[in-house]
Amino acid sequence: MSIAFPTPDAGILARRDAILAGLAPLVAPDALIVTEDERRAFETDALTAYRRLPLAVVLPSSTEEVAAVMRFCSENGVKVVARGAGTSLAGGAIPQEDAIVIGVSKLARVLETDFANRTMRVQAGITNLAISQAVAHEGFFYAPDPSSQLACTIAGNVAMNSGGAHCLKYGVTTNNLLGLTVVLVDGTVVEIGGDMLDAPGYDFLGLMTGSEGQLGIVTEATVRILRAAEGARPALMGFESVEECGACVAAIIGAGIIPVALEYMDKPAIEICEAFAHAGYPLDVEAMLIIEVEGSEEEIEDAFARIVAIAEPFNPRALKVAQTEAEAAAIWKGRKSAFGATGRVADYICMDGTIPTGQLPVALRRIDEIVKGYGLGVANVFHAGDGNLHPLVMFDTNKPGEMEKAEAAGEDILRLCVELGGCLTGEHGVGIEKRDLMTTQYNREDLAQQLRVRGVFDPLWLLNPAKVFPLEGRELDETPTNGREAA
């Protein structure tokens, strides 16, 4: 329990009744949640070790209601934490006692589907999977597919710039977004972008994406939808060493093949997932890849013939190209249940750093050393094509001090990612979890520029203020620095 929250504003807490009375006329009666019991449901997200009860929760049904609530909050100095489905692993949606939560769960409709132009307009609270399901009958889908897609919302995806297993080919949220309706902190509603490929002026769409609820409240989004490939099939390949596996990944990409997914699992992850899913994973290898390619039968055969030939020098073991739907499903079932399966054998925290893929063997060796140094275990599953690691640091909550050790190990792993040329977070976001590590990746000037941009949108720090930026160092020196002197 090492991450600090700002001290709640006593003035706001004292005015709670007046604030609730001010909010009540702005939304439907059942959209304002005030009782402690009901507020409990909103006190945390998927970073469950941390929780804070919000002042109140509002669940608006329209952009206009969101705007009215925001206007009220900014006029009254009330902080706001936006919330989608609360699946953030970084604590991005955890409230604070002196803030209200604006949840977008009632804004969950598809507004417009345009197959000819391959776009779709949705309200922000719709789930990621529901978007794909709404267009599946025409063979279309929305590409970024976080493993949490059944629950997480497009609002959360935009706020975190979420990725998925298939982003090696299709990109992440920011690459698949065309337009947003955003309510600014003072209640002004702006339309950013539209239904075309590029937006006029500065790239505010790119800036909003990944801004973690700190620049405005997203109420609608226009996304690109894509026609799905004719077919897709995974293969699995085991390796006797991490080095051979890493070299094989490099060789595949070096040969000009970009599989739609390229997932890595290490020995502990293979064992945990196999015990849970009986996917037929090889238990006598050090590392394993799941490689998925897309296209017609003929194209898939051709691609696997190439991949198998490329892999040959790296001594792949237990090579298996799925021949049937059932085999394909089994191969993916193991990988997709990695988090759940690990949760059955231990408590864990899931890290999310990215490394340059060439550093893979070094990174895995050092992660192992770090975690062992704390007397804990680790299972590694990750997106090998882009170096986005998900080490699952395992511990036992019931043993005093173990969770703190796991957190410390996690922080060391993220520092390692930065040291190797990567970054703190590839897709889960900074939230509160990595907030205090930001200074390992960014220096004073780097952070100051981000804070200045943030200040354009929310000068008074009302929007999700406990997150992303270290609590220290938010005050900026406004005297222009002399570039020659600044370190």
CA distance 57 to 75: 18
10 interface partner picked from other proteins, ligand FAD, none, CB below 5 to 8 A per type: none
Helical packing angle, 338-345 and 325-336, nearest 10°:
50
CB closest to ligand FAD, residue no: 156
3-state secondary structure of 317: strand
136 binds other proteins (CB under 8 A): no
CA distance 29 to 24: 7
Report how far apart, in Å, the C-alpha atoms of 393 and of each of 74, 152, 371, 404 are.
40, 23, 7, 11
Report how far apart, in Å, the C-alpha atoms of 186 and of each of 73, 74, 209, 216, 218 are.
8, 6, 20, 9, 14
Specify whether the CB–CB gap between 418 and 412 falls below 8 A: no
104 binds ligand FAD (CB under 6 A): yes
Q: Which stretch binds other proteins (CB under 8 A): 20-28, 142-150, 264-272, 429-437?
A: 429-437
Residues 6+ apart with CB under 8 A from 131: 110, 120, 122, 142, 154, 223, 225
Nearest CA to 427 out of 219, 101, 132, 175 is that of: 175
Considering only 46, 69, 143, 403, the residue that binds ligand FAD (CB under 6 A) is 46
87 interface partner picked from ligand FAD, other proteins, none, CB below 5 to 8 A per type: ligand FAD
Specify whether the CB–CB gap between 283 and 317 falls below 8 A: no
Considering only 33, 155, 185, 432, the residue that binds ligand FAD (CB under 6 A) is 155
Residues 6+ apart with CB under 8 A from 154: 84, 122, 124, 125, 126, 127, 128, 131, 221, 223
419 interface partner picked from ligand FAD, other proteins, none, CB below 5 to 8 A per type: none
Q: Which stretch binds ligand FAD (CB under 6 A): 210-218, 290-298, 415-423, 474-482?
A: 210-218
> Which tokens sit at 460?
């008074």
162 binds ligand FAD (CB under 6 A): yes
299 interface partner picked from ligand FAD, other proteins, none, CB below 5 to 8 A per type: other proteins
Considering only 74, 123, 157, 425, the residue that binds other proteins (CB under 8 A) is 425
Q: Which stretch binds other proteins (CB under 8 A): 200-208, 269-277, 280-288, 313-321?
A: 200-208
157 interface partner picked from ligand FAD, other proteins, none, CB below 5 to 8 A per type: ligand FAD
CA distance 156 to 136: 22
314 binds other proteins (CB under 8 A): no
Q: Which stretch binds other proteins (CB under 8 A): 105-113, 196-204, 333-341, 403-411?
A: 196-204
Site string for other proteins, 58-87 (x = CB under 8 A): ------------------------------
**Residue where the block lists tokens 């001090």:** 401
184 binds other proteins (CB under 8 A): yes
353 binds ligand FAD (CB under 6 A): no
427 binds ligand FAD (CB under 6 A): yes
45 binds ligand FAD (CB under 6 A): yes
Residues 6+ apart with CB under 8 A from 149: 127, 128, 129, 132, 164
What is the footprint of other proteins within residues 353-372 (CB under 8 A)? Answer: 354-358
What one-letter code names the amino acid at 174? T
Cβ proximity to ligand FAD: between 158 and 328 the closer is 158
**Residue where the block lists tokens 């696997």:** 304
Considering only 128, 174, 181, 380, the residue that binds other proteins (CB under 8 A) is 174
Main-chain phi, psi angles of 359, to 5 degrees: -90, 5
Site string for other proteins, 90-129 (x = CB under 8 A): ------------------------xxxxxx----------
38 interface partner picked from other proteins, ligand FAD, none, CB below 5 to 8 A per type: none
Per DSSP, 354 falls in state B
Residues 6+ apart with CB under 8 A from 167: 143, 144, 383, 386
254 binds other proteins (CB under 8 A): yes
Considering only 49, 53, 111, 250, the residue that binds other proteins (CB under 8 A) is 250
Q: Which stretch binds other proteins (CB under 8 A): 18-26, 233-241, 246-254, 313-321?
A: 246-254
CA distance 110 to 212: 23
Considering only 54, 146, 385, 465, the residue that binds ligand FAD (CB under 6 A) is 146
342 binds ligand FAD (CB under 6 A): no
**Residue where the block lists tokens 């997480």:** 152
Residues of this chain that interact with ligand FAD (CB under 6 A) are 45-46, 81-89, 92-93, 104, 124, 146-148, 152-153, 155-157, 159-160, 162-164, 212-213, 217-218, 339, 427-429, 464
